Structure 1
Amino acid sequence: MISAVGKKVVATQNYIASYVGAKILESGGNAFDASIAISAVLSVVLPHTSGLGGDGFILIKSSEGIKAYNSSGWSPKNLKAEKINERDPNSVVVPGLVDLWRYLQENYTTMDLYEPLKPAISLATNGFYIGRALHHAIITSPKFNPQFEKLFGNKRFGDFIKLPRLGKILKEISKDPREFYEGKISQEIVEGLKTQGVPVEIEDFSQFHGEEVSLLKIRYKDYDVYEFPPNTQGLTTLQILKMVELSRINKLPYNDIKRVNNHVKISILAYDDRDRYIADPKFYQPPSYLLDEGYLIQKMTTEGIPVNLYDGDTTFFVVSDGENEVGFIQSLFYPFGSGIIVDDIVFNNRGYGFKDGVNKPEGRKRPLHTLSILLANKDNEDLIIGCAGGDLRPQIHSEVFEYYADYSMEIDEAVNAPRFMYVNGKVIAEKRLGIPATQTEYLSSEVGIVQAMKRKGNEFIAVADPRSEGVALPVH
């Protein structure tokens, strides 16, 4: 089921996670209880996309307004590298996902933390069958190290796998999430990371917390559109949308080659600004004019600068309990992140997001982060859009939103509609778009995996991308 309608809905990239989230709602939990349950299950069954070794962001729309929490990790204080390679031990930053669970537990949940974590504990301890997405990630990943090969190397679709040490850690976290950062768990993790070359100290964990952030906002037609601020690339999505509106290419048919070509040029311009200006705001504040119409019009008279983009591996989901709307995204960055594993936990390679200039590697700094979430609203209507897509996320968010706002598609049609992407100097497009470009499959994960949710009045539509093994479920 790619879409579900009701007052309580859930849509994720994995059918087990969707089922678990729906059961939590059905048993009386709220959207935040369900979010922790889904997040934990995804951490077990899709360990190449996300997990306790990675980051998380949440966007909340409730009767109290809009809240956002950035739980992306910082680099170790002893980081000395001037350049970081893709799978370098220096690419591991302190993971923030568990702190995001703590934030929800302390502020929003209704259940004892063990209840939403119980399904993930069971899956990790007792085992689960490997799905298509994990199978594909295993066979296409490099042979990282003996730990990786022992855990995943010979596993294929339909094989049974257990992650007992991860199950044990999840059980300890259910008693107190800060154990992951300040207790015996963190000490074991830090020692395990240090033996594999990560320059981390226990203080890097114990002093880490995520933070509430204020979203960026633009006006697009009659919508208010929100995205996460730096250190994320949410600003890039808003620049693309604003330039699309200013250039009026949204008046052309969606499969018009002129629209596609100009959309690509606009994306190049926005990514150029991303690479120049976006960094950890504690180290650098980008110019305030980056969303000004005059500045963007001036940019559109210049030539675009090619950039190198990577599709990444992430997982995003949406939940509503009828009162609260949640968009939740978590990631390791590349498939299986750094490839470094400690106690069945796969650790991120987010430090590869550091580059030159304002985003250069420094201790206790967060790299430019590809994760973000789009929220749009008008009148009595909300949209939450998120995806797996790495560097491509701004293009994916903007294209799906444009399908909805400019081409009169319902949200499930907008998610399903054919997409194109500018990737590493070329345009790729799903075959059904019917344009001259590098062709991908009719439904291809190369153009991102989107989950989305729409509220109209008191009714919700949740959508799972048919490009994945996810489902959307209603709860009655």
Structure 2
Amino acid sequence: MSAAFLIRCGLLATAAAAALVTAIPAAAADRVTGKPFATRSEVYAPHAMAATSHPLATQIALDVMQAGGSAVDAAIAANAALGLMEPTGNGVGGDLFAIVWDPKTKKLHGYNGSGRSPKSLTLAEFQRRGLTDIPAHGPLPVTVPGTVDAWFALHGKFGRKPMADNLAPAIRYAREGHPVHEVIAYYWNASVPRLSKWPGFAEQFTVDGGAKGERRAPRRGETWKNPNLANTLQAIADGGRDAFYRGEIARSIDAYFKANDGFLSYEDLATHAGEWVEPVSTNYRGYDVWELPPNGQGIAALQILNLLEPYDLKRYGFGSVEHVHLFTEAKKLAFADRARWYADPAFAKAPVQKLIGKPYARQRGKLISMDKAAREVQPATPAELDEGDTIYMTVADADGMMVSLIQSNYRGMGSGMAPPGLGFIFQDRGEQFVLKENHPNSFAPGKRPFHTIIPAFVTKAGKPWLSFGLMGGAMQPQGHAQIVMNLVDFGMNLQEAGDAPRIQHDGSTEPAGQATVMSDGGELDLETGFDYETVRALMRKGHSVRYADGPYGGYQAIMVNPHGGYIGASESRKDGQAAGY
């Protein structure tokens, strides 16, 4: 990879970067246009648009729509291909969330495709093993994968083409092979040493299955085939949803976990069901920003925006000390509530409407100081709220349907558990549970963990305006809020809004693991491009500033063009592409 590319990805520390490339100030203008810096132009198309993290997946989505498929058909086809082409972020072993704009009903529909913990695994079992956190890899963090169910639920409501047609491109690429892209090759290589000890991983996710004694990932540009995944997808194409959750695939999964100290069972798969949910929103300066309610973390983005709305960010300017400081302090407040209240609503119902309400934001906003960074932040009390590496992609079709979809294995390639002959890896989403009693996110059998993956949507005056997302763990709600700010407050175009240097605050109280409490103010990560005078001023306010390696997420977006058609943008830090026709 080039030095410039690594710096844009945040994969080189600033000290090393400074010797290679001159940093671009946050407020710097393009030397030709005088506008904020962007890696490339926005993409315009009159009929349909797709933006994904892999160019081949984008092309598949466009092909499906040109052949008469809906945006949902195209999204399913692209997502199936991404599970093959970008196993470092997603696959049929993971979960899926989506928001769909339906032009017929003129409303948004949300789907929560997250799976539950094994029914035979208990908190007492973790305690018996002496664990205080759920391990990141292996059989214990595995939960039921919800992706295939979500595909069929979305297709049943909004699909036009047969599911077999939607899965055919991924099946063909799995059998015939495809060249591995640069960023994917980088993360795949990093995953192989960590995950090769788990049964089935090295055999199916290293070159030649490690048969020659060398366990390595495919290199950039090398052709990768996955005939096992092709067979799995073909079985789903032929037998439908139940082929995965009730057929031979489910029986193979059951036998695999029984043989490898696991708990996921045939019954867990057979009884899985995702659910349609109502998206929730807040209005930010005339724009309605939509997220899905918990067990995901989407409403944290809405809380951040509510806290920032009273401030004149446009006057302060992008990259100013006020911009970065206020965003960071708002994030701390939202994430304190995230740790306390966000969980599976079937087990711990959060007061969502109060949390995303303007009155609550004004009350909590009084805790923000313009002069000093908060070291500790407490969540709202029940009395205050009394009711008295993931992929993101988006698709829009010629009929006006727009899909905002996010799908993930959690920690990059997930748990490492890869049942022989199936060609996919199970997610390790169960790592997000807390192993102590009386916490909203405590582990329990048949429970959905706190979830980080969140799609987003924006409407204006009741009409679709923007389908977007930004993947990357706790960065996601922070990224969602920053994209909205960049577009609405700072007047950036769709590509500029994604390319602008990003802010990530780390160290807030977490809803997962041991759920430790922030007591030192955490760490403020600034991507290369922020002016050093801003950094110095932030440090004087008490922020601990660092230049971290690549935690800034991956962005895709489609905006409705007011003159007709769509505008697309794709993440410059990844391999992706926005394209249309």
TM-score in same-fold range (> 0.5): yes
Q: Higher mean Cα deviation, 283-292 or 229-238?
A: 283-292
Q: Could you tell me which residue of structure 1 aligns to residue 117 of structure 2?
A: 75
Structure 1 residues 284-363: aligned runs within 5 Å: 284-287=348-351, 288-302=353-367, 303=374, 305=376, 313-323=389-399, 324-342=401-419, 343-355=422-434, 356=436, 357-363=439-445
CA distance in 1, matches of 2:276, 2:298: 15
Q: Which has the higher strand share?
A: 1
Deviations 1:384-403 (A, max 9, x none): 12022111101000001111
Say if 1:89 and 1:196, in contact at 8 Å, map to a contact too: yes
Aligned CA-pair RMSD: 1.9
> Aligned pair 1:271/2:348, yes or no?
no
Superposed displacement of residue 304, structure 1: 5.4
2:246 corresponding residue in structure 1: 182
1:439 alignment partner in structure 2: 547
1:44 to 59, 80, 84: 84
Partner amino acid for 1:137? Y
Residue 62 to residue 80, structure 1, CA distance change in 2 (3 Å) = same
Partner of 1:310: none
Shift of 1:134: 2.4
Any idea what SS the aligned residue of 1:143 has?
Answer: helix
Trace 1:209-248 onto structure 2 (pairs within 5 A). Answer: 209-248=273-312
Which position in structure 1 is the counterpart of 2:54? 14
CA contact (8 A) 1:2 1:472 kept: no
Any idea what the Cα deviations from partners look like across 1:220-256, whole Å, max 9, x if unmatched?
Answer: 1111111110000011110001001134445421111
Unaligned runs of 5+ in 2: 1-39, 127-132, 207-214, 368-373, 379-388, 508-521, 536-544
Which of 385, 403, 425 is equivalent to 2:486? 403
Partners of 2:502 and 2:194 in 1: CA distance? 32
Unaligned runs of 5+ in 1: 308-312
Structure 2 Cα separation of the partners of residues 115 and 104 of structure 1: 15
Aligned to 1:466: 572
Instruction: For residues 138-167 of structure 1, give each alpha carbon's deviation from its aligned partner in whole angstroms, at most 9, with x where no partner exists.
Output: 222243215323322412223332211111
- Secondary structure of the corresponding residue to residue 338 of structure 1: coil
Equivalent position of 1:104 in the other structure: 154
Could you tell me the TM-score, scaled by structure 2's length?
0.77
Q: CA deviation at 1:449?
A: 0.9
Q: Relative to 1, partners in 2 of residues 1:23 and 1:126: Cα closer, same or farther, differing over 3 Å?
A: same
**1:454 maps to which residue?**
559
The 1-side partners of 2:160 and 2:189 are apart by 40
SS of corresponding position for 1:433? coil
- Of 277-286 and 240-249, deviating more is 240-249
Structure 2 residue identity aligned to 1:317:
M
Amino acid at match of 2:265: E
Is 100-109 or 214-223 further displaced after alignment?
100-109
2:234 paired residue number? 171
> Is residue 122 from structure 1 mapped to residue 204 from structure 2 by the alignment?
no
Partners of 1:128 and 1:160 within 8 A in 2: yes
Structure 2 counterpart of 1:360, which letter? Answer: S
Bigger radius of gyration among the two: 2
How far has the Cα of 1:298 moved from its partner? 3.1
1: CA distance, partners of 2:111 / 2:59: 25
Q: Does 1:55 align with 2:55?
A: no
Letter of the structure 1 residue corresponding to residue 577 of structure 2: V
1:4·1:463 contact (CA, 8 Å) conserved in 2?
A: yes
Which whole-Å CA distance do the structure 2 matches of 1:304 and 1:364 have between them?
Answer: 36
Q: Does the 8 Å contact 2:313/2:489 carry over to 1?
A: no
Whether contact under 8 Å (2:282, 2:357) holds in the other structure is no
Q: Does the 8 Å CA contact 2:101/2:464 hold for their aligned counterparts?
A: no
**What displacement does 1:445 show?**
4.7
1:91 counterpart (125, 141, 153) = 141
Shift in Å at residue 80 of structure 1? 1.4
Partner of 2:501: 418
Residue 269 of structure 1 contacts residue 304 of structure 1 at CA under 8 Å; is this kept in 2? no
Q: Aligned-pair distance for 1:123? A: 1.5
* Partner SS, residue 90 of structure 1: coil
Q: Secondary structure at the match of 2:343?
A: coil
Partner of 1:372: 454
Amino acid in structure 2 at the alignment position of 1:464: S
Task: Kindly tell me the number of residue pairs found equivalent between the two proteins.
Answer: 467
Mapped contact 2:297–2:451 kept (Cα < 8 A):
yes
SS at match of 1:118: helix
SS for the counterpart of 2:569 is strand
The answer to whether the 8 A contact 2:528-2:547 is kept is: yes
Give distance in 1, aligned partners of 2:413 and 2:258. 19
Cα shift at 1:407 = 1.1
Deviation digits for residues 34-77 of structure 1 (CA, Å, limit 9, x no counterpart): 11110100000101100010011111112212111110111111
Q: Moved runs in structure 1, 4+ residues, more than 6 A?
A: none
Q: Give the deviation of 1:218 after TM superposition.
A: 0.9
What amino acid is the match of 1:4?
A: V
Counterpart amino acid of 1:474? G
Q: Distance in 2 between matches of 1:46 and 1:306?
A: 37
Aligned twin of 2:185? 135
Which of residues 216, 227, 233 in structure 2 aligns to 1:154? 216
Q: Distance in 1 between matches of 2:148 and 2:261?
A: 23
Change (3 A) 1:207 1:406: same
- 45-54 vs 88-97, which deviates more? 88-97
Aligned identity (percent) is 30
* SS of the residue 2:140 aligns to: helix
Give the distance between the partners of 1:4 and 1:194, measured in 2 at CA: 49
- Name whichever of 143-152 and 457-466 sits farther off: 143-152
C-alpha separation between the residues in 2 aligned to 1:3 and 1:100? Answer: 30
How far off is 1:88 after superposition? 4.3
